[in-house]
Amino acid sequence: MLKTNIAVFVSGGGTNLQALIDAQKAGIIKSGEIKLVISSSPAAYALERAAMAGIDTAVVSRKEAASQADFEKGITDALEKYDIDLIVLAGFMSILSADFTRRYENRIINVHPSLIPSFCGKGFYGLKVHEEALKYGVKVSGATVHFVNEIPDGGKIILQKAVEIEDGDTPETLQKRIMEKAEWIILPEATEKISKEIMEEKNAAI
């Protein structure tokens, strides 16, 4: 039985990557296997997490690439070397072009720290999302896992999980609660869901 080969794209600390590694160990992700972690930064602690889990890594820096096309060629070369079927964006801070997302249509998923279509799109990332949610006065926020297309946060929704906003929340406390109660739960669940679909397709084609 061929499993789905997964690549996780990271840029920073890698807490979502850790959630995926832990879910794989726990058997939550069983239809796929994380074969590669690609970082846009050589200094990302996520690379250490991958190394500790025995997962191969690659660094493809946008800053050092001559162009977007050059940057994406570096990524594609690494993906092809490992025969990757599914890309999971886990705090990846570089924008991918329409050419790239079309090439991997329905094969790239991302976690966003709000209930899309609220507080999403261009410029909405990191603490900014939670700042805007609190400023607006919403009572519920959460996280969304969605397919990635050429529109920022514009792809089809796979899973969502709501998290209540509490009195006295700051962007930082809200960010932490959404990570723990939503992102780290639904990202592995969605990864397994899509991995299972891809695995079934792969094995049917044999």
Active site residue 112: yes
> Where do runs of H (alpha helix) occur along the chain?
15-25, 46-52, 68-81, 98-103, 127-136, 171-178, 184-204
Out of 35, 49, 107, 112, which one is annotated catalytic?
112
Residue 62 to residue 64: CA distance in whole angstroms: 5
Q: Which of 131, 132, 121, 113 is nearest to 187 (CA)?
A: 113
Torsion, CA 61, CA 62, CA 68, CA 72, rounded to 10: 30
- The catalytic residue positions are 112
